[in-house]
Amino acid sequence: MTRLKIAFDTDDTLLIPSVATGSNVDTPNYDTIAVLKWFQAQGHTIIIWSGSGVEWAKRWAEKLGLGPCEIRAKIKDETVDIAFDNCDVDLAKVNIKVKRINNSASRAEWNKTKKSAP
């Protein structure tokens, strides 16, 4: 079997920001996590990445118990077979857009404060 490299973005893909739900905590996106775990169970290489950097991706991969996986910054990489993201992106050979929860909620303030969050 050919092993694929499958990348998942963190914000609004694996993680639903608190501003989108109206709560005070960020919530796992269990639907997307189920897809990740399916690919993982098939033996594919899983990459967790984030435009907010490696530390942010690592923090959430650990919190969500998504290992073992590769953690990296989100950049275009033609060796990645499939990329899941909540935005229209061109990061991999195939790019799949994940539904963004409550798109009308602004992420601007959340984005400013998230890196200092525990």
Cα radius of gyration (the chain): 14
Q: Does residue 105 surpass a pLDDT of 90?
A: no
Q: Does residue 117 surpass a pLDDT of 60?
A: no
Sequence-ordered alpha helix ranges (H) in 26-99 = 30-41, 54-63
Per-residue pLDDT tens digits for 44-102: 999 999 998 999 999 999 999 998 889 999 999 999 999 999 999 999 999 999 987 76
pLDDT at 113: 63
Per-residue pLDDT tens digits for 5-17: 999 999 999 999 8
Complete domains list, the chain, with CATH: 5-116 (3.40.50.1000)
Q: Are 9 and 49 a contacting pair, CB within 8 Å?
A: yes
Q: What value does the mean pLDDT take over residues 14-34?
A: 89
pLDDT at 46: 97
